[in-house]
Amino acid sequence: MQVDRQPRALRVLDDSQQEKVLADALSTVTMSEKDTTPAVNRLPPKVFARILAFRTLERTLVTATHVCRHWRSAILSVPTLWTNIPCRDLDRTLTYLERSKDALIDVHATSPSSSFPMCDILSRHIERTRLLRANLSRADVRSAVLQLRDPVLSLEILELFGSTFDAPRINLPADFLGRHTPSLFSIHFSDVSPTFTPFYLPNLTHFYLRGTDEPTPMDSIFALFKNAPRLREVFIFCRHTTPGTILFHEITLDFLEILTLRIYDPVPILRFLCLPSIKQGLAPGSRM
């Protein structure tokens, strides 16, 4: 007795059609046997880098370079993956700086040790710094920041902060950042008492100042408004201010939409401001 071992699906096809189906199936099996590369390794490097950009822990990036040769090559070929510079561990910081090549970097100057060469690192790489976040409670970091006297064309975000236990009073030099940072759009001072002489900031849109018990000069606040015509949001919280000594005329801020003044007496500021676009204002003790 002869047994028909053909699959039922092939019995309804003629010989030529059966040959084509079998050839296609054989080709698929052969391809799958030859191509043993994991699907993730067939991604273009830029797509692979885009996935890694969503990592939640920074240390996983270095760990990923040790998975296999392909992962290491792909990760090292994308400098933008290495732009978040953690100035804590010196070896890791130098590794990130080298692998980021010429890409813009975000510097987090929170070194835990006075032996960390903060001044040297900032001076060498400040020209390609996009974000500078510095803990001024540390004397070495404060010294490094205050020595920045050259223009920084790429700087977009400046964050200087202290701590509730060590809120330093800082005097930003008159030639801080070379008085020329055309890309700067956000300044954030927190738990510091800054004395600063604002220079022309054509693209500054956000300013945040949370001071300490030390008084903030009113002249600095007025000068900021005068030199930042594109401000959109301002938050100023100061327990004390010193009286202004410079005579200012009315300042019009056409783009300012949100203004929060939490100071003892905001009237001297408000009387000189013209705010045609204001949408939200808060100034305790005064009328908006």
Q: What is the pTM of this model?
A: 0.77
Q: How confident is the model at residue 237 (pLDDT cuts 50, 70, 90)?
A: confident
3-state SS class at 34:
helix
Residues in the chain: 288
pLDDT in the model for residue 101: 92
CB atoms near residue 101 (< 10 Å): 13
pLDDT of 157 strictly over 90? yes
| Cross-strand partners of 187 | 158, 207
Q: What's phi and psi for 83, nearest 5 deg? A: -90, -10
241-250: average pLDDT? 70
Residue in this structure with the two tokens 């950042």, named with its chain if needed: 177
Q: Are 262 and 208 in contact (CB under 8 A)?
A: no
Residue, of 186 and 31, whose pLDDT is higher:
186
- CA 271/CA 261 separation, integer angstroms: 13
CB environment 204-227: b (16+ within 10 A), e (fewer): bbbbbbbbbebbbbbbbbbbbbbb
Maximum C-alpha span of the chain:
114
Q: Highest mean pLDDT: which of 163-172, 187-196, 210-219? A: 187-196
Q: Vertex 249, ends 248 and 254: CA angle to 5°?
A: 115
- What is the predicted pLDDT for the residue at 186? 95
Give the residue from 166, 277, 179, 193 showing the smallest Cα distance to 227.
179
72 in Cβ contact with 66 (< 8 Å):
yes
pLDDT of residue 156: 95
Whether the per-residue pLDDT at 243 is higher than 50: the answer is yes
CATH architecture designation of domain 37-80: Up-down Bundle (1.20)
**Alpha carbons 164 and 116: distance in angstroms, whole number:** 23
- Which residue has tokens 């929170």? 110
